[in-house]
Amino acid sequence: MDIKYKSSLSILVLCLVSVFGLKDTGVFVSAHEQPTYSGNKVCFEAGEQANIIDSSERGYIVEKGKAKVTIPYEKIQLTEKTTRIYKVIKNTSIRNDKNEIIRNLFIGEELVEISKNNETVKVECKDGTKGNVSVESLKLESEKKENFEVKTNAVKVNVEPVKAEYIKNTNIQNVKMTTISKEEFKMQDSPVVYTSDKAKVAVDSALDKLGSTYVYGDTGKAGYDCSGLVYAVYKNQLGINLPRSSSDQSTYGKQVSKAELQAGDLIFFNTSGKGVSHVGIYMGNGEFVHASSGQSKVVVSNLSEDYYSSRFVNATRVLD
């Protein structure tokens, strides 16, 4: 079998994977309506299967009939996930989303798939480098399927609207929520302990944005996404220029353990099943403020909640 034929066969295998979709699956933890670009709505019932074909910073890309829509990560619980390993079969480089070379890859290097399209595969290297590699330079080496237990004890949500509110999600699996005002939050029995003036500025600035609308890709013009909230707070209030994405932010600053967390630290989560995809600002007492795509606003949550404790990845300290 010549090299040209082997290369063509590798491309064919990758294309078949893309077309016939070795897909991740999950179930909706609550009913959800997702608008499409055409102005229509795709409706999902609680407990309905989610056929996941890809993921992005905004959420899972789910296929239903002929429609493909992006669903916030918090709306879906994975039931099956496929991890694909690729091997580099020709000299090539890994590039960022601007098509700039990050570094060269070596033949035989193994890469883990994050997402894919017809021309490139977004991967993560063993050294943590993430980027895009051309399909023709890779061979699908192996794939592993993981099954997850589904918790079915869903509780109906009844939340009365209040002014200057935030919603604290005590357990995303149970969809049980409590709504309190910002003023009530500041009067809680366990006040935040600040280790520096900068930490107080960061937390207070984030709390001032409670209830602001979640807007993907925004840093404050119309709202915030998770990394946009962090980016805006630290740049505008403290003059600290952080990377823009949650994944890049997770490598910036000093790494700290969960036990060492202080107010003003950044905490990161794997809500996609494919690496860091969410970030919040730690406030103390186990609580953090973040822009939630599932809640569609800036909210406060607690690290002890099942959803976040099971998806915690790492924490960094960027303040002196």
- Positions annotated as catalytic residues are 226, 278, 290
Using DSSP, state whether 306 is helix, strand or coil: helix
Max Cα–Cα distance, the chain, nearest Å: 73
- Measured CA to CA, the distance from residue 164 to residue 161 in angstroms comes to 9
What backbone torsions phi and psi does residue 185 show, to the nearest 5 degrees? -60, -45
Residue 73's SS3 state is helix
Residue 137 · residue 11 · CB < 8 Å: no
Contacts of 11 (CB under 8 A, 6+ apart): 135, 136
CA angle 289, 292, 297 (to 5 degrees): 90
| Percent of the chain as helix, strand, coil, to the nearest 5 | 20, 40, 40
Query: Torsion angle, CA of 255/84/90/126, rounded to 10 degrees?
Result: 20
Q: Which residue has the tokens 């990377």?
A: 243
Q: Helix count (H) and strand count (E) of the chain?
A: 6, 21
* Strand intervals (E) in 182-257: 254-256
Among 182, 172, 178, 176, CA closest to 160: 178
Cα 44 from chain centroid (whole Å): 21
- At residue 26, the 3 state secondary structure works out as strand
